[in-house]
Amino acid sequence: MRRFHLHPLAVEDALSAHQIPKLEVYGSELFIVARTAQAKGDRILYGETHVFLGPNYVITIRHGSARAHTQLRAQLEASPHQLSHGPDFILHGVLDFIVDGYIPIIDAIEDKVLEMEQVALDSFLSRDDITRLFQLRRELVKFSRVLGPMEELCVKLQSLDLPCIDREVRPYFRDVADHVRRVASRAAGLRDILASVFEVSNLLEQQRQGVITRKLAAWAAILATPTAVAGIYGMNFEHMPELRWTYGYPAVLALIVAICIGLYVTFKRTRWL
């Protein structure tokens, strides 16, 4: 802090986590907060990278970020020409490294969403599937809350006249902002797909219940015929001439069978059975 003359307020923010992505100017020094993300199952875990940018130095402080900057440092050191632009190019490398970490996350969520969409079309979503659907939707909402401020941060670095940021490096920040914008657009699209998956699942469930209801009504109508005829002959009326008719019993059975077959064929044609 004393060696680089860092502003006390910026140091205080850097020592505490749970900051939103932001850009603050302290004289000739910039203080940037960027949010990192990492997928773990169906959840997204977040961290923070705080960056102090001065005329001839870059200081990064990480909170909860599992991705080491070793690979990034090697890439930057392998491009001395680009490093000659100054510390602002290193800042671009850090932000680009963070934003590139968003892409595998949105790819993994997209695969899971498409999988659930196929499950909803092939069968019916179980309670666990619906719980997972809302879990993914909740994670996408949280992710969007990070992507919005990150895009604003990159736009400021691209468009504002800031200390330690050369005009030649601004297009690089525009490229990072475009990457964030594309990820945000994909996240919004996946939220819409999840909503449609839930609606389609409800429609298919209602359709299935309607089919079952029609089948039960059709079989009830078919079974009502022998029940009604048997009920009439079970009343034991005194005057029932057909009881003394030799062919009365088989005729009644034939009538019952004919009516039942006729109803079955009718319901089959109307696709109730």
Question: How are strands ordered across the β-sheet holding 43-53?
Answer: 22-26, 29-40, 43-53, 58-63
| Mean pLDDT value of segment 121-130 | 79
pLDDT over 70 at 142, yes or no: yes
pLDDT tens digit sequence for 221-251: 888 888 887 777 766 666 666 666 767 777 7
Residues 6+ apart with CB under 8 A from 162: 23, 25, 30, 156
pLDDT tens digit sequence for 51-75: 998 888 888 888 877 666 667 777 7
Q: How confident is the model at residue 239, as a pLDDT?
A: 62
pLDDT tens digit sequence for 21-42: 999 998 888 999 999 998 888 8
DSSP 92-116: HHHHHHHHHTHHHHHHHHHHHHHHH
Q: Where in the chain is the domain with CATH 1.20.58.340?
A: 8-207, 213-270
Q: How confident is the model at residue 237, as a pLDDT?
A: 65
* CA atoms within 13 A of residue 46's CA, in its CB half-sphere: 17
Q: State pTM to two decimals.
A: 0.72
Would you identify the CATH topology of the domain 213-270? Methane Monooxygenase Hydroxylase; Chain G, domain 1 (1.20.58)
Would you state the CATH architecture of domain 8-207?
Up-down Bundle (1.20)
Q: How far is 22 from 188, CA to CA, in rounded Å? A: 22
